[in-house]
């Protein structure tokens, strides 16, 4: 899925991996907010491992955004200024997350822009607050999660 475009026109992409359980929660896993290759690799590896599981064994729906900031632009959450003209990466991520309303957002690696805190503390895209937390870029990020988080 396309999340949006960076200031240079680079595509910000998401992979959505469904579960066979209709009422399962949704987890968003986001990396690459500061061009950190470890977080990008970590999100890709977690998504690949999750995809290898049969849909019937997946405890939640996963949205993976490995590279949320392909240009390494300065991010601001919640975004300010004219939407998509100023802070285009911040606006694209903020609104896309709000529209998809995940039950939990995990921000992998360096979150110096404060995405996790802003999602938890601010109303997102006029939808509501979204539980979020920062996690280190390491193997097994998703292994400890279940439907109950």
Query: How open is the CA angle 17-18-23, to the nearest 5 degrees?
Result: 145
Could you read off the pLDDT of 79-112 as tens digits, one per residue? Answer: 987 776 788 999 999 999 999 999 999 999 999 9
Report d(CA 135, CA 107) in Å as an integer: 6
Report d(CA 85, CA 93) in Å as an integer: 14
Query: How open is the CA angle 141-61-77, to the nearest 5 degrees?
Result: 70
- DSSP, res 91: H
**Domain-by-domain residue ranges, the chain?**
2-135
Report the chain's C-alpha Rg in angstroms.
14
CATH C-level class of 2-135:
alpha beta
Q: Which pTM was predicted?
A: 0.93
* 127 pLDDT tier (thresholds 50, 70, 90): confident
Q: What confidence score (pLDDT) does residue 56 get?
A: 93
Report d(CA 1, CA 10) in Å as an integer: 14
Of 20-24, 30-34, 105-109, the range with the lowest mean pLDDT is 20-24
Q: Cα-flanking dihedrals φ and ψ of residue 35, to 5°?
A: 70, 15
């Amino acid at each position: 899925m396309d999340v949006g475009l960076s200031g240079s026109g680079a595509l910000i992409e998401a992979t959505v991996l469904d579960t066979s359980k209709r009422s399962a929660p949704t987890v968003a896993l986001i990396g690459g907010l500061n061009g950190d290759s470890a977080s990008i690799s970590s999100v890709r590896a977690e998504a690949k491992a999750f995809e290898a599981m049969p849909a019937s064994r997946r405890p939640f729906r996963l949205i993976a955004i490995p590279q949320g900031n392909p240009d390494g632009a300065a991010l601001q959450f919640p975004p300010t200024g004219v939407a998509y003209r100023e802070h285009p990466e911040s606006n694209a991520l903020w609104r896309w997350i709000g529209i998809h309303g995940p039950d939990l957002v995990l921000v992998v690696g360096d979150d110096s822009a404060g995405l996790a805190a802003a999602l938890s503390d601010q109303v997102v895209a006029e939808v509501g607050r979204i539980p979020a937390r920062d996690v280190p870029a390491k193997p097994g990020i998703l292994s400890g999660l279940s439907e109950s988080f």
